[in-house]
Amino acid sequence: MSAQPTVLVVEDDVHIAHVLTFMLERQGYKVTHVADGRAASAHVAGNPAPDLVLLDVMLPYVDGFEIVGQIRALDGWKDTPVIMLTAKNTERDTVRALDAGANDFIIKPFQPQELLARLRRFLKTPA
């Protein structure tokens, strides 16, 4: 892991993306944001893996379940921690996300400190 951990944020809601980016950058993370599933697919296919991916479930063009499948299929990305974000709070969605290969699952609206704690758990960064 680099001195400044990198996080790929895949989120189509501009406000949530802005909040996540601001919050993560304040904690010292280097953030790359893509706003839809098509852009996320292209990013995953054409770039080295970040230290962690924050991935929305409901995205335009390609959903988060498909993106996590693409991540798990690529050698350079397959071990990258993926935390999925969703507004849908059903057990079925949680199970589907975990079965698709997500490492963790956070329901929106999320609590910022909880989200950061979950990131630290995967990135092994101090509180």
Domains belonging to the chain, first-starting first, are 6-58+68-123 (3.40.50.2300)
**What pLDDT shows up at residue 93?**
83
DSSP class of residue 28 equals: T
Q: Which residues of 62-81 are buried (b: 16+ CB within 10 A; e: fewer)?
A: bbbbebbebbeeeeebeebb
Segments of the chain with pLDDT less than 70: 1-2, 125-127
- The region that residue 27 occupies, defined by phi over 0 for left and psi between -120 and 50 for alpha, beta otherwise, is alpha
The model carries a pTM of 0.93
CA distance 48 to 1: 12
